[in-house]
Chain A
């Protein structure tokens, strides 16, 4: 696997992440089982009730997760999940995406996209301000034309679009 670095690399242990993840999966399974039980898992006048099928799936998932946790406990302790530099890189895109999505309800998807493309071009790659400005405005603008004008698909819009009557 490409994740196997040499001993000098530092990062969270693969085993640790795997166990935490399996634990979360187990919690999800318990939620499913509980929800299914509330919806009814027996036989109603519509046949097997709505919770019947999810209950079996949730119960099965609890079982599979238990096995996976047991396997995980026996896993190698030295293997790392990814080194810190790599995780920093992943964080460097995840954070902007989170901000991007959080902004959509307030400033609309088009303006948010201008910011997202601009950020990627300036910070993650090294484009000059002129190219960045042109591309980051042009792409969302064309998208706007395609969706709002030609295909009449309404996407979230903010104050800027409202100023132009959309």
Chain B
């Protein structure tokens, strides 16, 4: 009788536990090499897979920054819940704030499985050791800001997030698919606020234009300065797929025409599509402002962090109650 094990394999050896980097018998360099080959070849990584520390910390830093931004990002909008012009707008804004906090929860879950406890992530955020997105360091001065944020800040974010749905880190990619679906509602809500005001009184229209002028700088900075694709470790590990400039071009390509369609103007005389290259030309964004703002020297950085610190202290009893309560008999 033929020994079954002597037969050649017929089925492709793609079972996860057969991935060579999961083989504990290999030395580190060999596992690293197999892992790099897997990821750069388009393979996905699960939380239970072996991964080099460089990859794990790189994904962790990326997801943690994203989670922080979702958590801090609700504060500018939260300020307008009580001042929303109608009940429907108030419900929509409240739901959006709840969604964004929910996104933070989902993303902190992804990060937790990479080894950093949630408590440590919150403490680092409150101590200013980790960052959140530049756009959440600015004040909201009028209801028009709420429309501009929900439409354009969320649009700039979704351009980046859609490119993350295929991230090499599979738990992050799956979470992004859920988040993108929810963000698309926010964009519609924001665009509806903007279109409503643009077609309203001259004062409402002026208010939208004023908010747009104020937010354009931070929006252009949001994806970050151009970077060298070959030196970007997030791209090397396929944590993300697109460079800052690719994301900015995509954002401009979709949204500038939609802004102009409403008869609004953008405060950049150099902004325009270069027909020769198909690329958008624009005045170089103020990268010094970006660096200042994301290192917590923005106009509202300290106030918003202090709000979170106070909130963290005020809700300590909830965490205590959850953790300390003896289990009631069922």
Same assembly = no
